[in-house]
Chain A
Amino acid sequence: EPEVTQTPSHQVTQMGQEVILRCVPISNHLYFYWYRQILGQKVEFLVSFYNNEISEKSEIFDDQFSVERPDGSNFTLKIRSTKLEDSAMYFCASRPQVRPYEQYFGPGTRLTVT
Chain B
Amino acid sequence: GESVGLHLPTLSVQEGDNSIINCAYSNSASDYFIWYKQESGKGPQFIIDIRSNMDKRQGQRVTVLLNKTVKHLSLQIAATQPGDSAVYFCAENSEGNNRLAFGKGNQVVVIP
Q: Which chain A residues have a beta carbon within 8 Å of chain B's beta carbons?
A: 4, 31, 33, 35, 39-45, 48, 50, 55-56, 58, 91, 93, 99-108
Provide the bound-state CA to CA distance between A102 and B51, in Å.
12
- Taking CB atoms, residues of chain A closer than 8 Å to B42 are 105, 107-108
Q: Say whether B89 contacts A41, CB under 8 Å.
A: no
- Taking CB atoms, residues of chain A closer than 8 Å to B1 are 44
Q: Say whether B44 contacts A91, CB under 8 Å.
A: yes
- Taking CB atoms, residues of chain B closer than 8 Å to A48 are 98-99
Partner of B43, one of A42, A58, A91: A91
Q: Say whether A43 contacts B98, CB under 8 Å.
A: no
Q: How far is the CB of B35 from chain A (nearest CB, A)?
A: 10
User: Given contacts A43-B89, A101-B32, A101-B93, are A50 and B46 in contact (CB under 8 A)?
Assistant: no
Number of interchain pairs (Cβ within 8 Å): 70
Q: Is B8 an interface residue (CB 8 A)?
A: yes
Provide the bound-state CA to CA distance between A54 and B38, in Å.
26
Q: Is B3 an interface residue (CB 8 A)?
A: yes
Q: Say whether A105 contacts B102, CB under 8 Å.
A: no
Q: Is B45 an interface residue (CB 8 A)?
A: yes
User: Given contacts A101-B32, A105-B44, A106-B43, are A58 and B99 in contact (CB under 8 A)?
Assistant: yes
- Taking CB atoms, residues of chain A closer than 8 Å to B6 are 39-40
Q: Say whether A33 contacts B98, CB under 8 Å.
A: yes
Provide the bound-state CA to CA distance between A99 and B34, in Å.
11
8 Å CB interface, B12-64 against A: 32, 34, 38, 41-46, 49
User: Given contacts A104-B46, A105-B44, are A42 and B103 in contact (CB under 8 A)?
Assistant: yes
Q: Say whether B98 contacts A40, CB under 8 Å.
A: no
Provide the bound-state CA to CA distance between A103 and B100, in Å.
9
- Taking CB atoms, residues of chain A closer than 8 Å to B104 are 42
Residue of B nearest to A42 (CB): B102
